[in-house]
Chains A and B, each alone.
Chain A
Amino acid sequence: MSTTVATADALGTTVPAAARAGTPVVHDATGFSIPASHNAIIRWNVYIAFAAMGIAVIHGLAQALSYAGIDILGWFPGLKTYYQGLTIHGVFNAIVLTFAFTNGFLSLTTARGLGRPVNGPLLYAAFGSLVLGIALASWAMFTGRASVLYTSYAPLQAHWAYYLGLVFMVVSTWITSANLFVTLHAWRKDNPGQRIPLLAFVSVATYAMWDLASIGIAIEFVAFLLPWAFGLTDGVDPLLTRSLFWFSGHPIVYFWLLPTYVSWYLMVPRHAGGKLISDALTRIVFVLFVLLSTPTGFHHQFTDPGISAGMKMVHLVMTFGVFFPSVITAFSVASALEIGGRRRGGGRLIGWFFKLPWSEPALAAQLLAMLVFILGGVTGLINASYSMNQVVHNTTWVPGHFHMTVGTAVLLTFMGITYWMIPMLKGKELWSRKLAVAQAWIYFIGVLVFARGMISGGLEGLPRRTYFAAATYGKESWDLAGVWTGVGGTLMFVGAMLFLVILVLTVFAGRKKEGQDVPFTETIQPPAPGGWETRLDRIGFWVLVGAILVAIAYGPYLIQAIPPHLSVPGFKLF
């Protein structure tokens, strides 16, 4: 597996010897191989992720066209309502796709970063839990027993199988997390006093962040929604369950984004022929996400009654805080790309950007993802801006925003990763590099057109989550926004379907090519062998500090909200 290893030094930058001593497995892939059974599980995680996306985007097309006033729901056999399809769209994209892909991808990067396989039984258990969860929730959703949308707001009440299915999906991420920690622990025993290799550090830190963040929905589902759906309790407190949802519902955004950052920091520079500059700054960014991701959820509830303005302001400040590491990321990744572009003869100011190897599908998809993420980040900051939120809350502005973040920055990056990962795991070549690049561009153009529609419609008050083609009200200024949305959504659909074609043909018809490795970069400034920087590696400690911040941000609300004051029975209005 060492054929691509030598190129790291072909870049011409002098690498201090300490870099090699500190991160022993970066350069040397000899002796590292993934057991065949692990390889299969990781691949199947990716297949399930994109199969879910394939099903989800078919209804996505119907939603985009619905905003243009075109109703194609009649063409969906077995689909009872628009909202049934919208529920599947949300659950399959936001949860199944992201959990499945991340469980596979970060198990691989941890194994490669540490130069040792992850724990087999835990890898199988996580996969089993995910499949069981998907089966349960799918049954409930496809039979119309759970058309509550992925936010699962009580007191709309879904079938218990839906809630239980989502629980098993979250459990699969916890098992994966346990696996990564077990693997890291074993590595530390064999390498006392060594810095954790960066690739493994960022992978494990991602799961550590999510372990803390997922406590909210764990309590919501296990303590409240499941017993209520089973008929063991009479009711729930809708504001409490909603708040617990957003406790996890905002940081889940970072559980989608951090695997993306793993690739942007460590793999994209390699694709571009550049190098990541700072090891320490990268670790600091991931530690900041562990600390700041979770105490932010009330910015999704700025317009809610029952939560004081003071609490909302605390979360406002924290949300702006968590924007900080994302801006550092933009700088670090851009400078790594600049090194690559200038090596290829690009000019100083922006010429380097156009000299990047745009014909490399894995890179092209991720560069386009980054460009869209600039718009996604800016619109997100507006959402979080307290009083400004009143202008856009629950309008199509919001899906306009998150189709540029999770729906493009993350999805197009996952596609870019797949363009090297599946060929590597299958020992094959990508089926068509040109079509893969074209696919990324089609999706990119599609989302820009789509978001133009959704963003402008939102500013005019066009409501989200609405079967607009059948709505009994309307406004003239929404018409053009709907057309942009419909056209853009159609292009996104075509881009997503092309990706599936390339994936399937790579698996079945790709030419053989053995000996591929995980493409990741080293850092120009290596990890320090001693000093304060070594404290960055204490992931457990940072989770603990994060938990204290969560207690400060949520404690005053939760102390008065639990035990619940209200018992509202379930409504099945779907």
Chain B
Amino acid sequence: MKKTSLALGLALMVLPRAEAAALRVVATLPELVDIAKRVGGDLVAVDGLARGVEDIHQIVMKPSFVAKLNRADAVVFLGLTAEHTFLPGLLDAAQNPALRVDHNTSACLGPGCIDCSAGVRILDKPQSLSRAQGEVHAQGNPHYNLDPRNGLIIARNIEAGFSRLDPGHAAQYKKNLAAYREELELKIAQWVKKSGPLKGLKAVSYHGDVAYLAAFTGLDFIGTIEPKPGIAPTPAHLAALVGVMKDAGAGLIVREQQYDAKTPAWLAEKTGAKIAVIGTMANSMPDTETFVKFSEKNLINLLEAR
């Protein structure tokens, strides 16, 4: 009896668990979890990797993520190498044929790969590639999730991926997408009106990740606290930045919440500029667990700080 119970227990542990949902999905970022749930509805079971408060380029590779990816039918990711520090390594370890990784490009190649960047108008494409430029992204700026309008493209890509993997429920995914689009388009129209006062306002950011935010709000970013992407600020660079900000009349410092507060505070003291804290992922700040709430919170923080 004991042997039978033990064998049964082991079998239950090792055999893949039956899931009610048609698709088992892993999404790298909280806003992708949110949109995947909205598009997939009850037909998908969505698990996330990042919590949102991390720096997207520093997410830790946990073996528990490997176990999730090993069992997944699909992985939803931002792409453009935004997840280069963790996703290729995890996919390699997960040994899931549906989620293969190309070791030259770090791209996800299997049928379960859902790249949300397809169709996004990419900004900040580097003219040349060199480590002397700091931690540049070869394919261009990957932080397109900071422009709320790209939420529509993300949702469309997720719908296309789900419909491809689960064609039997394609009509339902399309219906869910239409409902989400309607909601998001309404919000975007409101945000466009609200963001009017930001247009043309001179600003600096900590990291060079705000091109898409600038495209949506009309903010004019004239510099970054980091001298180059991923390179910590030096005293000489900060002194020069103070001069640039004063000359341009920059009144706003945008600090992504994962970066230290001390340097922007020092810069604000020297220039008289106000600080706006923004998130670069959903759930990075309280009450921002969805793409809509995250986009809205960023806009509110910018407007309040100006």
Q: Do they bind each other? A: no
